[in-house]
Structure 1
Amino acid sequence: MDRRSFLRAGAFAVTTAAGGTFLIGCAPTTRNSASNATGDPNLPEVAFVTPFQHIINYIDVYVAVQEGFFEQEGLRVKPIGGTGTASSVSQVTAGQGMFGKAASVITAPLILDTGAEIITVGQNDQVSQYSVASDPAKPLNNPSDWQGKTIGVISKGGSTELLLDAMSVTAGLDPANVRKVVTGADVGSLEFLKRGEVDGFITFLGSETALRQRGVELNYLNTDKFAKVPGDSYFVKKSDAQSKGEEITGYLRACRKAYEFTEDKANLDKVLSAMSAFNTVEVSDKELARLKIEAQAKLCKPANGKYLSIDMPAWESALELMRKSGIVKDKNRPLSDIVTSEFVDKV
């Protein structure tokens, strides 16, 4: 779907969420004790709605559940596997979850152009998860290299297509001169390149890690090189930001502890166990899972070493770029309408 269709779909989900039923999957917590299987029942339960199922990208939450970091903050967190970024946004907006996760390229236009009452409170990805992969013999190292060519994106109208367009705009080029086709998010995207159907395709951290593990030689150009736009970040309803500050700060503190725990290679088995409780497939190949976990921790660690810190200069320049590229139509509302460091600064 295109961006407008995506936004309409999100709005429809919000409208129906209050009275409808979501088909969502959630996994049990992974505490070893049966009495703690769902955490302390006396603690308030809040839900985190993932953008997509249960994968290593959200490892901080699974580790925080298993290691009791949320309970230390007086919270009982239920991770809910979403069916797409739209579901994460719509369920949080409708009160079906307190925390969601999405990139700024999605949340900014939703907030500024459609009036979504959400705000980002913690930045997970400090570096883009996405890269343009190409044949090393015909490398794509600049947006000018793919003008008039075909590039594979993960989904039509989603983050990767918007980022690809923004890269062209940054280079002073017309995104319309690039043909985009959907090649998906897994290693199967490589087949499109092998068959000559695309000149390059966008990978995300998981598929890039898997391709590298298989020894596939590709040229990778991270999207940050031309369009530095903050990636997946935690968001909440603005009303919750006003009334549930302690819970938000506690959630972020627990997730930061989980990232620090995950970063320690001595904890690998426990981290794998935390992921396995929600999705055994993600850790069926232990070596690949290890590589993904290490890459995820590295990608999420900011220069100051404090996980979930918000890079405000990056958000400011990203908003300017999104306006310039047409991703965001609004020209006047302030950055503070889409992101705040109020809570993570208290961690």
Structure 2
Amino acid sequence: MYKKLITIMSSLALGVTCLTGCTPKVEDNTTEEKKLDKVTIAEVTHSVFYAPQYAAITEGFFEEEGIEIDLLNTQGADKTMAALISGEAQVGLMGPEASIYIFNQGSEDYAVNFAQLTKRDGSFLVGREKNDNFSYDDLKGSEILGGRKGGVPLMTFEYVLKQNGLKVSENSTDGDVNVRTDVQFSTMTGAFAGGEADYTTAFEPTATQMEKEGSGYVVTSIGADSGEIPYTAYSTTKTFMNDNKDLVQRFTNAVYKGQQWVETASSEEIAKSMQPFFEDISLEDLVSVVDRYRSIDAWCSDPTLTEEALNKLMDVMTEAGELDKKPAYDSIVTTEFAESAISNSK
């Protein structure tokens, strides 16, 4: 279903591209003070999980590189990819699995990943009761809202379940656990609060808000249990990258500065840096969220997406039955910009 949806969205987007011509170079946005290149980032979701990105914006690292950022929340990797291919966005922030699907479909102007942002699953398993001694055996016989079929959150979660010896079923009762994929990601929390399922997966700050409301309690971190995986990365089309190498390099420089800043800043400093993007969340809750993501080592310290990491992701996708062919690492990943950003900062 996920791959089929990406095909449909990509076809629509490619149609727009054909009508408007090839992806143009980004036009300069000139102001009296400084000349900035405007770059639109299509985010797969708007989440505090992406703290280094928001820090890079508020701490002025993108501006230092001559870039003005505009954020577009797409609510889905398929929609993020469509925005990227159509030229609505110049950069996509999503799981690398989307670029794998597009490459395998034979798209000429496919997406290339150039900077990794997060290195673990950012979701947490939420139950209806507190459980300080949680074991995956506790899930036997339960129903869980798992997310969208074909997406990295669901694939990673099912990978963890299988690693813990559980047989997974979807929309049935013939396994140890019934992982449902029929509830949209954006409505999972509401469905769970309304009484559906025994467990759900949730990102921050949703998990913290559920605990404050008493509607659910975090029992484990899926990211901590799955190990490192290239969960979220920046990508752009091959054409845009070839036509705007300097801009992609400056963009990567800013991301790396954000990653390095988050490495050394206090949780309160990071929370304050993110707050302009999450004004409806208290500073206290943001600090708690930062602490929780720091505790599982969620963020990359540099933007390099390694071959080993990509292979781990493709193994997870293969085990989930979502990948028939593994593209070559060099086809969908470049470390050119990450290596230069790291080298030039020394």
TM-score interval, normalised by the smaller of the two chains: 0.7 to 0.9
Structure 1 residues 112-166: Cα deviation after superposition (integer angstroms, max 9, x where no partner) = 2453600111111112102333455697744x76566421124455433333344
The SS at the match of 2:286 is: helix
Which of 119, 122, 143 does residue 126 from structure 1 map onto? 119
Structure 1 residues 17-68: Cα deviation after superposition (integer angstroms, max 9, x where no partner) = 43899xxxxxxxxxxxxxx99795633322212223x443344344333333
Q: 1:128 to 1:265 in 2, by over 3 A?
A: same
Q: 1:297 to 1:233 in 2, by over 3 A?
A: farther
Structure 1 residues 152-209: Cα deviation after superposition (integer angstroms, max 9, x where no partner) = 12445543333334445655845454341527557546536xx4x4232212232233
Q: 1:307 to 1:205 in 2, by over 3 A?
A: farther
- Note the aligned Cα RMSD (angstroms): 3.7
Letter in 1 for 2:95: A
Which of 332, 336, 339 does residue 338 from structure 1 map onto? 332
Which residue of 2 is the match for residue 301 of structure 1? 299
Alpha carbons 1:121, 1:340 under 8 Å: kept: yes
Which residue of 2 is the match for residue 323 of structure 1? 318
Alpha carbons 1:183, 1:189 under 8 Å: kept: no
Structure 2 matches for 1:1-347, cutoff 5 A?
2-18=1-17, 42-52=35-45, 54-113=46-105, 115=107, 117-134=110-127, 135=129, 141-142=135-136, 146=139, 149-155=142-148, 157-167=150-160, 173=167, 175-176=169-170, 177=175, 178-180=178-180, 181-182=182-183, 184=185, 188=190, 191=193, 195=195, 197-211=196-210, 217-223=217-223, 225-226=225-226, 229-265=229-265, 268=268, 272=272, 275-276=275-276, 278-281=277-280, 283=281, 285-296=282-293, 299-302=297-300, 306-331=301-326, 333-347=327-341
- How far, CA to CA, are the matches of 1:327 and 1:65 in structure 2? 35
Report the identity percentage.
16
TM-aligned CA deviation for residue 75 of structure 1: 2.6
TM-aligned CA deviation for residue 343 of structure 1: 1.3
The SS at the match of 2:119 is: coil
Alpha carbons 2:121, 2:156 under 8 Å: kept: no
Alpha carbons 1:133, 1:221 under 8 Å: kept: no
- How far, CA to CA, are the matches of 1:111 and 1:140 in structure 2? 40
TM-aligned CA deviation for residue 238 of structure 1: 1.6
TM-aligned CA deviation for residue 263 of structure 1: 4.9
- How far, CA to CA, are the matches of 2:83 and 2:219 in structure 1? 38
TM-aligned CA deviation for residue 223 of structure 1: 4.9
Letter in 2 for 1:51: V
- How far, CA to CA, are the matches of 2:227 and 2:3 in structure 1? 21
Q: 1:184 to 1:11 in 2, by over 3 A?
A: closer
The SS at the match of 1:91 is: helix
TM-score for both structures, normalised by structure 1: 0.75
Structure 1 residues 318-347: Cα deviation after superposition (integer angstroms, max 9, x where no partner) = 21332243211224x312222222211111
Q: 1:63 to 1:139 in 2, by over 3 A?
A: closer
- How far, CA to CA, are the matches of 1:111 and 1:263 in structure 2? 33
- How far, CA to CA, are the matches of 1:117 and 1:245 in structure 2? 16
Alpha carbons 2:93, 2:235 under 8 Å: kept: yes
Structure 1 residues 260-310: Cα deviation after superposition (integer angstroms, max 9, x where no partner) = 33455569468636642x4532x4x221122234445664434xxx33232
TM-score for both structures, normalised by structure 2: 0.75
- How far, CA to CA, are the matches of 1:108 and 1:57 in structure 2? 22
The SS at the match of 1:122 is: strand
Mind listing any 5+ residue stretches in structure 1 that lack a counterpart? Answer: 22-35
Q: 1:329 to 1:255 in 2, by over 3 A?
A: same
The SS at the match of 2:304 is: coil
Q: 1:155 to 1:320 in 2, by over 3 A?
A: closer
Residues 162-171 or 95-104, more deviating: 162-171
Alpha carbons 1:47, 1:97 under 8 Å: kept: yes
